[in-house]
């Protein structure tokens, strides 16, 4: 028998934690016969397809990063291979490119190069740009340029260098991404973080169904793409807040860096649908996607590992449920 990799060990532990919780919640909701009784099953939180433990070894249940790996996320839970790779292509790639463009525009020094065209007196040179400590570095890529145009570009630069006059220089960075798809990547990550913290009981609420449907239909807008944005927030900020104030904004607010994603709330209040939430937020929405006024509530510890807080017995509305204990809420 071969030695199990640490990746397999981790995924097995995620399976062994999540499967009994799924069974417990399915029984509580009266849908227990959905799962075969002779072995444990874990459902992909995105598509709700249930898989047995062998799916971990087969690589069908995969490590999912929250937020997406391309925007600096870390492995947090299991999703199915299909959902994981589809999201990478349909959503996360867009969030990654958008972040690179944002970083560049803000002058953040990174080792990434971006495709760009540089102009001297309007004469183009195609290549790449990179933000360095000393400023922007432009590199021409010969095979992307007509040799005559490239020669004219450098001749114009040389002429400026010899005359000592500051060149008439500009450049355009070519980053292509779909803003909606980039936003769905962040919304999907928030959904998964809320699942990891709160559990199956949270995502089995009817109001969560449109989010899963949206992930299956990247070309159709089913869920509003509203995301709060606070440019002053640290990119490493991770927070889950069960919002109780203002009263009409009761929801689950997930902070991922500068982004705040607002998801439906939890019992005992009736959770708002995604459309109702966006309606409510339109009353508080300021310029530049910042919120006017403060939101407050109970903070849930950011899950380093799925914690399934709402799933743990006794049932969530019971006074002794862990969600009602202050121990769960560090602040």
Distance between CA atoms of residues 107 and 130, nearest Å: 10
Cβ of residue 271: shortest distance to Zn ion, in angstroms?
Answer: 23
| Least distance from Zn ion to the Cβ atom of residue 174, Å | 33
Q: Does 83 bind Zn ion (CB under 5 A)?
A: yes
Reading the block at residue 292, the tokens are: 């006017």
Tell the smallest beta-carbon distance from residue 20 to Zn ion (Å): 20
Rounded Cα–Cα distance for residues 286 and 270 (Å): 26
Stretch that binds Zn ion, among 30-38, 80-88, 149-157, 233-241 (CB under 5 A): 80-88
x/- site string to Zn ion, residues 110 to 149, per CB under 5 A? ----------------------------------------
Asked if 253 and 240 count as a contact pair (C-beta separation under 8 A), the reply is yes
> Which CB, 47 or 173, lies closer to Zn ion?
47
Q: Which of 46, 192, 263, 280 binds Zn ion (CB under 5 A)?
A: 46
- CB nearer to Zn ion: pick between 25 and 253: 25
Residue among 19 and 131 whose Cβ is closer to Zn ion = 19
Q: Shortest distance, CB of residue 213 to Zn ion, whole angstroms?
A: 13
Query: Which tokens sit at 237?
Result: 């900020």
Closest CB 85 distance from Zn ion, rounded Å:
10
List the one residue from 80, 190, 242, 295 that touches Zn ion (CB under 5 A): 80
Is residue 78 close enough to count as binding Zn ion by CB under 5 A? no
Size of the site for Zn ion (CB under 5 A): 5
Stretch that binds Zn ion, among 15-23, 38-46, 127-135, 203-211 (CB under 5 A): 38-46
Three-class secondary structure of residue 170 per DSSP: strand
Under the binding rule (CB under 5 A), the answer on residue 47 touching Zn ion is yes
Contact 68, 87 (CB under 8 A): yes
44 lines the binding site for Zn ion (CB under 5 A): yes
Q: Which candidate, 212, 174, 171, places its Cα nearest to that of 191?
A: 212
Stretch of 73-81, 176-184, 268-276, 277-285 contacting Zn ion, by CB under 5 A: 73-81
Pairing of strands 228-229, 169-173: unpaired
* Separation CA 196–CA 74 (nearest Å): 13
d(CA 40, CA 10): 17
Site membership for Zn ion, residue 203 (CB under 5 A) = no
Tell which residue, 57, 47, 88, 45, has the closest CA to residue 306. Answer: 45
303 vs 18: CA distance, rounded Å = 14
Residue 22 binding Zn ion, by CB under 5 A: no
Query: Distance between CA 287 and CA 291 in Å, rounded?
Result: 8
CB 47, CB 82: distance < 8 Å: yes
Q: Which span sits near Zn ion by CB under 5 A: 4-12, 82-90, 190-198, 280-288? A: 82-90
Q: What is the C-alpha separation between 218 and 260, in angstroms, rounded?
A: 21
Min CB(79)–Zn ion separation in Å: 5
Q: Which residues bind Zn ion (CB under 5 A)?
A: 44, 46-47, 80, 83
């Amino acid at each position: 028998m071969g030695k199990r990799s640490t990746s397999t060990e981790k995924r097995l532990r995620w399976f062994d934690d999540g499967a009994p919780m799924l069974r417990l919640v399915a029984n509580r909701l009266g849908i227990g016969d959905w799962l075969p009784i002779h072995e444990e099953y874990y459902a992909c939180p995105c598509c709700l397809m249930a898989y047995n433990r062998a799916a971990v070894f087969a690589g069908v249940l995969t490590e999912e990063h929250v937020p997406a790996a391309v925007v600096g996320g870390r492995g947090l839970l299991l999703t199915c291979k299909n959902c994981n790779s589809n999201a990478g292509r349909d959503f996360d790639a867009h969030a990654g490119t958008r972040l690179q463009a944002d970083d560049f525009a803000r002058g953040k020094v990174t080792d990434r190069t971006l495709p760009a065209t540089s102009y001297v007196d309007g004469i183009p040179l195609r290549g790449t740009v990179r933000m360095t400590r000393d400023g922007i570095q432009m590199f021409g890529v010969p095979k992307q340029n007509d040799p005559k145009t490239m020669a004219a570009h450098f001749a114009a630069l040389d002429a400026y260098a010899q005359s000592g006059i500051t060149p008439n220089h500009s450049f355009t960075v070519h980053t292509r991404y779909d803003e909606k798809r980039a936003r769905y990547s962040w919304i999907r990550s928030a959904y998964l973080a809320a699942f990891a913290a709160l559990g199956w009981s949270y995502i089995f609420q009817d109001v969560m169904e449109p989010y899963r449907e949206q992930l299956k239909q990247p070309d159709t807008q089913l869920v509003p793409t509203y995301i709060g944005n606070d440019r002053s927030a640290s990119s490493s900020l991770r927070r889950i807040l069960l919002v109780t104030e203002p009263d009409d904004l009761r929801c689950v607010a997930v902070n991922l860096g500068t982004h705040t994603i607002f998801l439906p709330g939890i019992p005992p209040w009736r959770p708002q649908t995604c459309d109702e939430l966006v309606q409510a937020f339109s009353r508080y929405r300021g310029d530049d996607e910042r919120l006017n006024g403060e939101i407050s509530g109970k903070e849930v510890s950011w899950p380093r590992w799925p914690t399934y807080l709402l799933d743990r017995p006794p049932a969530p509305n019971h006074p002794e449920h862990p969600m009602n204990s202050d121990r769960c809420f560090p602040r």
